[in-house]
Amino acid sequence: METLLMWDIDGTLLRNKGAGRRAMNRAFEQMMGDAGCRDAFDHIQMAGGLDLHFIHEVFAEQGVDRSRLEEYLSLYYAHLKEEVGDGQSILMPNVRNMLERARRTDSLYNALGTGNLELGARIKLDLFDLNSYFPVGGFCYGLVERYQVLQDGVERARKHYAVDFAPERVIIIGDTVRDIEAARKIGAKVIAVATGGNSYEMLEAAKPDLLLADLTDEERFFALCE
């Protein structure tokens, strides 16, 4: 049976070691022209969250009108390209092999399910030449909840692949409890990997369908996909 694999990015596929936060900080300081705004995003808890939530929270705290969002995003994307290219970003163990194996399997289809804005996601993936594995996905598209991002991604994947994926044939792969909670809300299965935002123990307590230390355990991973 056809199965949709929806992959989170940060902490799951790769780790940018704070590149996104640094880019958001730099963009905000540049837009405001005020060194006092230098670390505006440092207090935001980002693991498993959505980009636009972070941005709107800081805008509200700093009294910035939402009409400046596009101005801010253009600066953010420019800084993000610089930050992810600073040599600190790493690809998680065995990721490319996993994606390639899934792509070669006729019944499996890759998609993204991420809290990143799409252009930001593509910038991060481009560093490791991963975009070709993900022709479609769910991205942060507004002030919505994470499960709605996943729902949107499933609908986009259905149209792109021309496959009517049943909810139980959708598998969310992520590194936070928020990924697990969002997967449950759309009736999907979930594979949690303890390589990012939450500890193995925290993920275990949230009861994913499968919990892995990392993505090197291919056989257990693909057994769930059958």
Instruction: Give the pLDDT confidence of 73-107 residue by residue, as tens digits.
Output: 999 999 999 999 888 899 999 999 999 999 999 99
Q: Phi and psi at residue 93, in whole multiples of 5°?
A: -55, 130
d(CA 165, CA 170): 7
Question: How many domains does one find in the chain?
Answer: 2
User: In this model, does residue 151 exceed pLDDT 90?
Assistant: yes
Domain enclosing residue 77, as ranges: 19-84
Average pLDDT, the chain: 96
75 and 107 co-located in one domain: no
In this structure, of 13-17, 101-105, 123-127, the range with the lowest mean pLDDT score is 13-17
Average pLDDT over residues 187-213: 96
Residues written for the chain: 226
142 and 209 co-located in one domain: yes
126 and 143 co-located in one domain: yes
Other C-beta atoms lying within 10 Å of the C-beta of residue 8? 27
43 and 108 co-located in one domain: no
Average pLDDT over residues 45-51: 91
Domain end marker among 60, 84, 108:
84
d(CA 221, CA 128): 22
212 and 108 co-located in one domain: yes
Q: Quick check: helix, strand or coil at residue 211?
A: strand
d(CA 118, CA 36): 29
76 and 100 co-located in one domain: no
